[in-house]
Amino acid sequence: MAINSTLKVSIITATYNSSKTILDTLHSLQNQSYPHLEHIIIDGLSTDNTIEIIKSTQFKGEIQSGKDNGIYDAMNKGIGLAKGDIVGILNSDDFYAEETIIEEVVSLFNKTGCDAVYGDLVYVDGQDTNKVTRLWVSGDYKRESFLQGWMPPHPTFFVKRELYEKYGLFNISLWGAADYELMLRFLYKHQAKAAYLNKVLVKMRTGGQSNQSILNRLRANMEDRKAWKLNDIKPNWYTLFLKPLRKLNQFFK
């Protein structure tokens, strides 16, 4: 695929005791076909050998290690350091599905002139990453879909850096819904233009920060109403009931 662009892409990874999975994350990014990349790792003072593993790969990006106020605070720190035109988030237990993902994302930015690109995601077994346990198919973007409980999978969400500068970073007062609130703010409230890349962009291990227990998912869903309230916008009466129900279909695809 020919890319007539020198758009720089910044990828942010937050790590904390990620020694068991970080190599897959690093390799999936280092093997990307798109050349204009920077990788920023924000480590929350890991007590295992996460940092040593990163350095063993002759990592050429930037690493910062220090105390933070959770994963979204770490992401905010990374965004603050980003120099790219486009910013993506790749969690330390996630990896890109193919070597051309970033190239295709940039191509869609160029083709559509959009502000954000997202795609599909698969959940894979924590031990056997060839075993798919859930498939999250996003579908084409329509602003009103948010009222039907829709959201794109955040690990597939690539955004022009200027949106963070204009509309703000992750709200760290939200424990589990900060990604939902940010996408709601960017896409629904401020009506940023989004484009859908119709393919699996990211593979996510089950058991990560956002899906390690049903209790955590329930806690995150309870914060969804706060996400709307923080933005002075109102969902339909059924919106927040539909949001968790939409996830059920992911287990049958």
Domain ranges of the chain: 9-251
Q: What is the pLDDT of residues 132-191, one digit of tens each?
A: 999 999 999 999 999 999 999 999 999 999 999 999 999 999 988 999 999 999 999 999
Mean per-residue pLDDT, 118-127: 95
pLDDT at 45 over 70: yes
CB 163 within 8 A of CB 187: no
Q: Which amino acid is at 107?
A: S
**pLDDT of amino acid 246:** 87
**pLDDT of amino acid 2:** 47
Using DSSP bridges, classify how beta strands 86-89 and 158-160 pair: parallel, antiparallel or unpaired.
antiparallel
Q: What is the pLDDT of residues 198-251, one digit of tens each?
A: 999 999 998 644 444 566 666 767 799 999 999 999 999 999 889 888 888 888
pLDDT at 24 over 90: yes
Please tell me the chain's helix, strand, coil percentages from 3-state DSSP, rounded to the nearest 5: 40, 20, 40
CB neighbour class for 139 (10 Å; exposed up to 12, middle 13-18, buried from 19): exposed
**pLDDT of amino acid 7:** 96
CA distance linking residue 75 with residue 174, whole number of Å? 14
pLDDT at 3 over 80: no
Q: Note the residue count of the chain.
A: 253
Q: What is the pLDDT of residues 59-103, one digit of tens each?
A: 999 999 999 999 999 999 999 999 999 999 999 999 999 999 999
Q: And the tokens for 221?
A: 């869903």
pLDDT band at residue 18 using 50, 70 and 90 as cut-offs: very high
Report pTM: 0.93
pLDDT band at residue 1 using 50, 70 and 90 as cut-offs: very low
CA distance linking residue 176 with residue 179, whole number of Å? 8
CB 95 within 8 A of CB 25: yes
Q: How far apart are the first and last CA of the chain?
A: 29
Q: Where are the beta strands (DSSP E) in 26-143?
A: 37-43, 62-65, 86-89, 94-96, 116-124, 132-136
Between 3.40.50.1970, 3.90.550.10, 3.40.50.10800, 3.40.50.1820, what CATH number should domain 9-251 receive? 3.90.550.10
pLDDT at 38 over 60: yes
Mean per-residue pLDDT, 10-17: 98
